[in-house]
Amino acid sequence: MQKVKPKKFLGQHFLTDLHVADRIAATLDDYRGMPVLEVGPGMGVLTQFLLERGHDVTVVELDRESVEYLEHKFPQLDGRIIGEDFLELDLGSMFEGDFCVIGNYPYNISSQIFFKVLDWRDRITCCSGMLQKEVAERIAAKPGSKTYGILSVLLQAWYDIEYLFTVDEHVFNPPPKVKSGVIRLRRNGVKTLDCDEKRLKAVVKTSFGQRRKTLRNSLRSMARRPEVLQEEIFNKRPEQLSVAEFVRLTNLLNE
């Protein structure tokens, strides 16, 4: 069957290096027996290694040409090739229990994909895969880093995150203009945060929206009691705060 032509508007860069694909598939070796949802399989270079490792794989692919290719190449996936947009899927209806997510994620929607993972954190035990190196580093960044940001805080509240390895541009068709990074998110033991979670999200987004300002200046309008702004923590900038400190900050603002 004729190979699929990468489509720029879908952000498609097909991985051609089988060794790299095998290494990405290996990120879920500790989760064999748990259902796996692969996002954006393209021509199935990662899919084949997931199947070889014995995973119960379902794939979701928006590109109709890729869906037809996958149906031809992987008849064992009959009924488990979902030709829809991952961002629009009701993941709860696809699996009865917990599951894993993996993929060579389209660069143009990778942040949205991880925000969706965050929404389903109670069901997604592990999430791994490849995305733009800059975004991967941002997700895994620690407090004090220039790349530490909104996704770093919100995801690290619920997941232990590892940056695993970097992938060069030349192993893709077409080659992207940037390097890629492979990360893995493992669900931590946190069940609830000791604060209003919706308010926490707003505090984090507002803080990093004005990251050059001190928290006293960027969050002044969110304080229910102006006097709490005298607390030492408000002298800091958002990239200096851990997840626990953002929880404390949220509670101070809510007093």
In order of 58, 98, 102, 119, the CA distances from 62 in angstroms are 14, 23, 16, 21
Mean pLDDT of the chain: 95
pLDDT(2) > 80: no
* Percent of the chain topping pLDDT 70: 99
Q: How high is the pLDDT of residue 187?
A: 98
Q: How high is the pLDDT of residue 7?
A: 82
User: Where residue 209 falls among pLDDT bands split at 50, 70, 90?
Assistant: very high
Q: How high is the pLDDT of residue 188?
A: 97
User: Where residue 1 falls among pLDDT bands split at 50, 70, 90?
Assistant: low
Q: Over the range 128-165, which residues count as b (16 or more CB within 10 Å of their CB) and which as e?
A: bbbbbbebbbbbbbebeeebbbbbbbbbbbbbebeebe
Q: How does pLDDT run across 106-138, given as a tens digit for each residue?
A: 988 999 999 999 999 999 999 999 999 999 999
d(CA 169, CA 162): 21
The structure's pTM equals: 0.94
Mean pLDDT of 219-246: 96
